């Protein structure tokens, strides 16, 4: 099995689950590929978004799941009109040029937690209608080459695995996005409230009214979810799993984990 680790990133439990799934997808493509038409047919079978590029960066295929993810009505709005290698938003504004270079060199590359530039898609493809209420979307993108019988790259396949999505345009949505993007940091109510231009006291009341929990409880729930994912990696001790999530096992968060999960981290690991 090919190990799908992005440059400079250590694998945790959730990464390994993603890699296993992506290896299965990669093997499916490589094993049946005989021509471009067959490649497109296989991509259309998958219920997850898949986009295919030629070696010069042009999009030659986008499956139905891609159209649904970006709320695009027809493949013709993408195919032949988008070039990944020439996209200044991806390469410059999002800072992914190093990833793109590696992708087109023929490496298997995981680009983690990319914020999809939905506003740019809207301008390019008139993709969003007034009822489309996705405010922001983050996705892991696994990219791998397809080779012909002469071992030359013919296509690049990109598979999108959405990690989180935020609906609506409210202040609470922006606050939730901020908390989820900064889950490794220490909780800071002032910084969160400042993102939505509210006083911390007013923000706390509004957040609880709309979500049913305090901002700190929301932050704790995210932290617990990340810890549960990381505990799946048996190469890490429980202490190391906690440290990778920015908390000490000897601190209070172990008690928080037990209160919310109903068992200690060690007990939880034994259930996996």
For the segment 201-243, what is each residue's pLDDT rounded down to a tens digit? 888 988 888 888 999 999 999 999 999 999 999 899 999 999 9
CB distance 118 to 128 below 8 Å = yes
Indicate the residue among 102, 136, 167 that finishes a domain. Answer: 167
Q: Please report whether residue 63 resides in a domain.
A: yes
| 226 vs 94, higher pLDDT | 226
pLDDT digits (tens, 9 = 90+) for 132-154: 556 677 889 999 999 888 888 99
CB distance 151 to 183 below 8 Å = no
CA distance 177 to 166: 7
Quote the pLDDT of residue 167.
56
Same domain? 21 vs 72? yes
Name the residue range of residue 113's domain.
13-167
Same domain? 138 vs 238? no
Indicate the residue among 167, 200, 228 that finishes a domain. Answer: 167
Quote the pLDDT of residue 209.
81
CA distance 179 to 46: 32
Same domain? 149 vs 180? no
Mean pLDDT of the chain: 81
CB distance 59 to 41 below 8 Å = no
Quote the pLDDT of residue 103.
94
| 98 vs 198, higher pLDDT | 98
What sign results for the dihedral spanned by CA atoms 65, 68, 74, 76? Answer: negative
Same domain? 148 vs 261? no
Quote the pLDDT of residue 237.
93
Q: Please report whether residue 137 resides in a domain.
A: yes
* Token pair 């040029």 in the structure block, residue: 97
Same domain? 198 vs 159? no
Residue 155 pLDDT greater than 90, yes or no: yes
CA distance 89 to 240: 37
Same domain? 105 vs 190? no
Quote the pLDDT of residue 68.
81
Q: Please report whether residue 3 resides in a domain.
A: no
Which CATH number does the domain housing residue 150 bear?
3.30.450.20
Same domain? 69 vs 121? yes
Same domain? 189 vs 143? no
Q: Please report whether residue 206 resides in a domain.
A: yes
Quote the pLDDT of residue 15.
47
Same domain? 57 vs 21? yes
Q: Please report whether residue 1 resides in a domain.
A: no
Q: What angle do CA 96, 113, 14 make, to 5 degrees?
A: 135
pLDDT digits (tens, 9 = 90+) for 3-57: 333 333 334 444 444 444 555 666 666 666 667 888 898 889 888 999 999 999 9
Same domain? 135 vs 176? no
Which CATH number does the domain housing residue 236 bear?
1.10.10.60
Indicate the residue among 129, 144, 167 that finishes a domain. Answer: 167
Same domain? 162 vs 191? no
Quote the pLDDT of residue 165.
66
| Cα–Cα distance list, 193 to 78, 184, 218, 220 (Å) | 38, 18, 14, 17
Same domain? 126 vs 216? no
Domains held by the chain: number: 2
């Amino acid at each position: 099995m090919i190990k799908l680790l992005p440059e400079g990133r250590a694998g945790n439990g959730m990464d390994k689950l993603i890699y296993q799934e992506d290896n299965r997808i990669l093997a499916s493509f490589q094993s049946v590929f005989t021509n471009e038409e067959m490649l497109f047919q296989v991509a259309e079978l998958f219920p997850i978004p898949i986009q295919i590029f030629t070696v010069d960066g042009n999009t030659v295929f986008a499956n139905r799941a891609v159209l649904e993810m970006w709320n695009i009505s027809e493949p013709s709005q993408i195919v032949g009109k988008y070039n990944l290698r020439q996209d200044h938003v991806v390469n410059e504004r999002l800072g992914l040029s190093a990833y793109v270079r590696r992708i087109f060199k023929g490496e298997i590359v995981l680009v983690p937690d990319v914020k999809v530039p939905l506003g740019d898609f809207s301008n390019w493809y008139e993709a969003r209608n007034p009822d489309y209420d996705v405010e922001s979307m983050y996705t892991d993108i696994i990219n791998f080459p397809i080779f012909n019988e002469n071992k030359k790259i013919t296509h690049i396949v990109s598979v999108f695995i959405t990690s989180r999505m935020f609906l609506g345009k409210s202040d609470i949505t922006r606050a939730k996005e901020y908390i989820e993007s900064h889950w490794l940091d220490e909780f800071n109510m002032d910084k969160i409230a400042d993102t939505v231009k509210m006083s911390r006291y007013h923000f706390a009341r509004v957040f609880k009214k709309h979500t049913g929990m305090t901002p700190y409880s929301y932050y704790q729930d995210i932290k617990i979810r990340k810890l549960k994912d990381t505990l799946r990696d048996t190469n890490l001790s429980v202490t190391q799993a906690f440290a990778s999530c920015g908390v000490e096992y000897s601190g209070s968060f172990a008690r928080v984990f037990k209160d919310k999960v109903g068992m200690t981290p060690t007990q939880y690991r034994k259930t996996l």
